[in-house]
């Protein structure tokens, strides 16, 4: 694994031929390669004997590539995103050693380092400060001196103006700007299923953190985390269109198709990222502790179990032409009232065929304000015709009842009925998922297929759940209906 570092000092003793001390030699080598710095200073902040798996050197070199451009004040090429399991030295590399190393090359470097909890961010900051205050560091880099008036675990500075600032996700960063934004696990794994927690983490990174750069053309975001949800901060970075370029490094604990860059597959030993610390016994125990979804995200870096989530979407058969006669056809609407944001209004058209297979015939999906949404529902009813029964999910409370009644009134001339939602979304989706997983569901080929399948794939941890809700409602209508409406 080749390094990319260089020695910047004009008085490099190794190049001048002058007699050098052990400390000078160590300082020169550590400045030149971040990986050597990590190895040399490991025992300063971690008492356990290290396991130098190949990925450690690789990540050190990738971080150094990013840092070299900052040292030269060059425009950044990309933000760096690393997805890797816990217990792989990621925090020690990224949040502890890296901020201490950059000062050896650029004493004025300011690092903003964040994690999901204040106590975690402070602990990582303390360890980084321990390196800098250690006798070994001071002997090798005597010019790096911490300011006595700014020497706390949260925020410490050196006499040259360099700084390391620690913050928890959602915390205040007013007045601080970093040469690098280093975010290490911005989301608590125990709260990753919470839509509010996901939204808060993403909004903090998009709206607050993004403004805390010394130079927006130079300062990179370095995000290193385990995958937890389709729409976690990693997913949000990868799904952005027209935003900053992202270099994505993905290192699942086991060899899968998600290893990125693909060339790294050759370093896996017996199909394992780290055959010592993450051996098969450890992974088996982790799976029993985390469950299918947790293991898929945190260990495999893909927040859907390899065999699929609740819906085994690979068993949905997509066909170009529907040859079978439909016994019953319905279109079920899951309504939302937000324009250009929030949830979607979705109308899934589903039929049960003469051989008792189920068919997804059409999906209409949009973020419309109320009046446009009602026009859309009426328009689709006219296109579908009177043989297709219309179903509506009635939200709880008087407002939900009134909304459903108003929609039914607007559908005069069509068969329409409101259904009260009972149970949570997973419970309502269970019977439809059973048919999908049994291979009894077909889908008519159309442009909407990809988004529909993707939502089912990630459910119940999908970013949106409206298509699943609408499908569950349509299936419930079909499985209980008795009226034959003829061929579509």
Helix %, strand %, coil % of the chain (to 5): 40, 20, 40
Which tens digits make up the pLDDT trace of 110-121? 999 999 999 999
| 286 C-beta neighbours (distance < 10 Å), count | 19
Region 196-222 average pLDDT? 92
Q: Please tell me whether the overall predicted TM-score, pTM, comes out greater than 0.85 for this model.
A: no
Q: Which of 479, 482, 455 is nearest to 469 (CA)?
A: 455
- How would DSSP label each residue in 288-325? HHHHHHHHHHHTTSSSS-TT-SSS-GGGPEEESS--SP
CA distances from 213 to 122, 312, 346 (A): 21, 43, 40
State residue 426's pLDDT score.
Answer: 83
State residue 2's pLDDT score.
Answer: 45
3-state secondary structure of 115: strand
Query: Residue for token digits 């309504």?
Result: 335
In this structure, of 138-142, 399-403, 431-435, the range with the lowest mean pLDDT score is 399-403
Rounded distance between C-alpha atoms, residue 450 and residue 455, angstroms: 9
Which tens digits make up the pLDDT trace of 456-481? 988 887 888 999 999 999 999 998 75
Secondary structure element (H or E) that encloses residue 129, with its range = helix 118-133
Contacts within 8 Å (CB) and 24+ apart, 71-76: 71/8, 71/105, 71/106, 73/215, 73/218, 74/218, 75/217, 75/218, 76/217, 76/218, 76/219, 76/220, 76/244
pLDDT for residue 67 is more than 80? yes
Pick the more confident residue, 372 or 421.
372
Pick the more confident residue, 476 or 230.
476
CA distances from 2 to 58, 90, 380 (A): 8, 19, 60
Residue 368 has phi, psi (to 5 degrees) of: -120, 150
The answer to whether the CB of 417 falls within 8 A of the CB of 390 is yes
State residue 481's pLDDT score.
Answer: 52
Q: What radius of gyration do the chain's Cα atoms show?
A: 28
Residue 166 DSSP class: E
pLDDT for residue 68 is more than 60? yes
State residue 340's pLDDT score.
Answer: 63
Secondary structure element (H or E) that encloses residue 120, with its range = helix 118-133
Quick one: CATH architecture of 313-480?
Answer: 2-Layer Sandwich (3.30)
In this structure, of 24-33, 148-157, 158-167, the range with the lowest mean pLDDT score is 148-157
Position 19 confidence tier, pLDDT thresholds 50, 70, 90 = low
Kindly state the tokens that stand for 320. Answer: 């170009």
Q: Is 62 left (phi over 0), alpha (psi -120 to 50) or beta?
A: alpha
Q: How many residues does the chain have?
A: 488
Q: Which residue stretches of 5-117 are H helix?
A: 13-16, 22-32, 34-45, 54-71, 90-91, 98-105
The answer to whether the CB of 346 falls within 8 A of the CB of 470 is yes
In this structure, of 51-60, 127-136, 172-181, the range with the lowest mean pLDDT score is 172-181
pLDDT for residue 7 is more than 80? no
Say which residues have a Cβ less than 8 Å from residue 161's Cβ, sequence separation at least 6: 107, 108, 110
**Chain centre to alpha carbon of residue 299:** 13
For residue 363, what are the β-bridge partners?
A: 348
Kindly state the tokens that stand for 376. Answer: 């859309």
Q: Where are the domains of the chain?
A: 13-298, 313-480
- How would DSSP label each residue in 396-429? SHHHHHHHHHHHHHHTTTS-EEEEE--S-HHHHH
State residue 488's pLDDT score.
Answer: 37
Which tens digits make up the pLDDT trace of 332-353? 999 986 666 678 999 999 999 9
Topology alike, domains 13-298 and 313-480: no
In this structure, of 91-100, 318-327, 334-343, 384-393, the range with the lowest mean pLDDT score is 334-343
pLDDT for residue 9 is more than 50? no
Q: Hey, what CATH class is 13-298 in?
A: alpha beta
Query: Residue for token digits 């607007």?
Result: 410
Highest mean pLDDT among 31-45, 141-155, 231-245, 410-424: 31-45
Rounded distance between C-alpha atoms, residue 125 and residue 433, angstroms: 46
């Amino acid at each position: 694994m080749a390094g990319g570092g260089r020695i910047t000092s004009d008085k490099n003793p190794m190049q001048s031929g002058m007699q050098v001390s052990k400390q000078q030699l160590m300082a020169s080598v550590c400045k030149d390669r971040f990986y050597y710095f990590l190895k040399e200073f490991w025992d300063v902040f971690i008492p356990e004997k290290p396991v130098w798996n190949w990925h450690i050197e690789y990540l050190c070199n990738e971080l150094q590539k990013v840092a070299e451009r900052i040292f030269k004040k060059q425009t950044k090429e990309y933000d760096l995103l690393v997805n890797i399991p816990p217990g792989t030295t990621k925090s020690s590399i990224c949040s502890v050693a890296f901020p201490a190393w950059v000062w050896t090359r650029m004493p004025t470097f300011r690092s903003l380092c964040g994690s999901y909890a204040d106590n975690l961010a402070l602990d990582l900051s303390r360890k980084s400060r321990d390196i800098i205050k250690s006798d070994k560091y001071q002997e090798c880099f005597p010019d790096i001196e911490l300011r006595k008036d700014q020497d706390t675990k949260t925020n410490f500075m050196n006499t040259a103006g360099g700084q390391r600032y620690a913050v928890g996700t959602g915390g205040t960063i007013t007045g601080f700007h970093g040469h690098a934004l280093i975010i290490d696990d911005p989301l608590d794994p125990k709260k990753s299923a919470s839509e509010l927690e996901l939204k808060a983490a993403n909004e903090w990174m998009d709206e607050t953190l993004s403004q805390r750069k010394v130079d927006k053309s130079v300062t990179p975001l370095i995000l290193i985390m385990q995958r937890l949800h389709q729409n976690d901060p990693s997913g949000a970075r990868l799904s952005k269109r027209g935003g900053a370029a992202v270099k994505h490094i993905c290192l699942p604990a086991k060899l899968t198709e998600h290893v990125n860059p693909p060339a790294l597959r050759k370093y896996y030993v017996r199909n394992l990222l780290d055959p010592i610390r993450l051996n098969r016994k450890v992974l088996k125990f982790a799976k029993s502790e985390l469950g299918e979804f947790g293991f898929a995200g945190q260990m495999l870096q893909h927040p859907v179990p390899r065999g699929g989530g609740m819906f085994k979407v690979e068993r949905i058969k997509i066909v170009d032409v529907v040859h079978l006669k439909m016994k019953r056809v319905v279109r079920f609407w899951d309504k939302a009232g937000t324009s250009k944001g929030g949830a979607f209004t979705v109308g899934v058209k589903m039929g049960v065929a003469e051989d008792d297979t189920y068919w997804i015939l059409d999906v209409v999906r949009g973020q419309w304000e109320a009046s446009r949404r009602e026009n859309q529902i009426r328009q689709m009813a006219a296109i579908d015709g009177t043989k297709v029964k219309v179903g509506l999910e009635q939200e709880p409370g008087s407002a939900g009842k009134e909304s459903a009644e108003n929609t039914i009134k607007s559908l005069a001339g069509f068969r329409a009925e409101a259904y009260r939602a009972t149970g949570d979304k997973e419970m309502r989706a269970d019977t439809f998922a059973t048919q999908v997983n049994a291979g009894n569901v077909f889908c008519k080929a159309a442009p909407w297929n990809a988004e529909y399948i993707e939502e089912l794939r990630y459910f119940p941890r999908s970013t949106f759940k409206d298509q699943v809700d609408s499908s569950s409602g349509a299936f419930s209508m079909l499985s209980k209906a008795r009226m034959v409406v003829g061929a579509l």
